[in-house]
């Protein structure tokens, strides 16, 4: 496996002329093709900044970002993104919300009007994979928070992205719904094989879903620990209540506590 996402010795500062808030300094990380990577760290350490860099929304002052062996110099169209707030458009049905990227990203945009029925079937299919069969014609405000977040995942995946970026997508949900969505995410990743980078505060979520967990230092952020998670897949949710699982969660928590203390 080769590096699919490569961040090399990144320095990124915000502010006029990039000289006020140093968000990342000396950050390097490599995510392999098909890998599920999780990024954890103290709040404000630059996790969201890292996501914006990898998707080409912002550029570093120093260092390089590569996705699929190409230097990133603008928004990466092969990426799908989902954030904590589902931000569905209230005037569109769930199905129409899920199909939104198809109206923007090529080659789908070009094909959409001619192949609308096939694309609609594909979007309906995704909705049923995440447990929303039959909800396509409902408006987002008719769905619970957990259902909206399921639809949000479908929207991030509808254009069949090679890279999925998740920024705290389950953070606002209750614990039970969150565990359900971890399993949805686990199954989608197993089925479709996209490379994933998940930013999360939830160490259990990171250990359950990821092949590798990257721990960041306090700001300015860089990677201080890479922890391989080798539990076999598919992982049952009960794993998260076992001692060997909790040992890793505690180990990661200790790294973050150290990072905060060093700040």
Residues that bind ligand ADP (CB under 6 A): 14-15, 21, 23, 43-49, 219
What is the length of the chain?
263
Q: How far is the CB of 32 from ligand ADP (least distance, A)?
A: 23
d(CA 80, CA 15): 27
CB hemisphere CA count around 32 (13 angstroms): 8
d(CA 137, CA 95): 6
Q: How many angstroms separate the first and last alpha carbons of the chain?
A: 35
Nearest CB to ligand ADP, comparing residues 21 and 246: 21
d(CA 180, CA 70): 36
How far, in Å, CA of 198 to CA of 163, rounded? Answer: 11
Supply the minimum distance, in Å, between the C-beta of residue 87 and ligand ADP.
Answer: 17
47 or 159: CB nearest ligand ADP: 47
Q: How many CB atoms lie within 10 A of CB 129?
A: 18
Nearer to ligand ADP, 24 or 147 (CB): 24
Question: By C-beta, is 23 or 95 nearer to ligand ADP?
Answer: 23
């Amino acid at each position: 496996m080769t590096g699919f996402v490569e961040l090399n010795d990144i320095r990124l500062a915000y502010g006029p002329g990039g000289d006020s808030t140093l968000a990342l300094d000396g950050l390097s990380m490599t995510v392999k093709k098909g890998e599920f990577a999780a990024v954890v760290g103290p709040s404000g350490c630059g996790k969201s900044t890292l996501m914006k860099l990898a998707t080409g929304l912002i550029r570093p002052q120093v260092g390089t970002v590569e996705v699929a062996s190409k230097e990133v110099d603008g928004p990466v169209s092969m990426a799908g993104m989902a954030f904590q707030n589902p931000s569905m458009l209230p005037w569109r049905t769930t199905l129409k919300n899920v199909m939104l990227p198809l109206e923007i990203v090529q080659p789908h945009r070009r094909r959409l009007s001619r192949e609308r029925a096939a694309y609609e079937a594909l979007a309906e299919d995704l909705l049923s994979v995440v447990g929303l069969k039959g909800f396509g014609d409902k408006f987002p405000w008719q769905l619970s928070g957990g259902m909206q977040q399921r639809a949000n995942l479908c929207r991030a995946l509808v254009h069949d992205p090679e890279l999925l970026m998740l920024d705290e997508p389950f953070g606002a949900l209750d614990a039970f719904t969150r565990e359900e969505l971890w399993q949805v995410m686990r199954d989608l990743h197993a089925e479709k094989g996209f490379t994933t980078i998940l930013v999360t505060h939830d160490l259990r979520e990171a250990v359950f879903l990821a092949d590798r967990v990257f721990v960041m230092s306090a700001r300015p952020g860089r990677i201080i620990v890479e922890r391989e998670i080798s539990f076999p897949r598919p992982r049952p949710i009960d794993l998260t209540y076992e001692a060997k699982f909790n040992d890793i969660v505690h180990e990661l928590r200790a790294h973050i506590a150290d990072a905060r203390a060093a700040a």
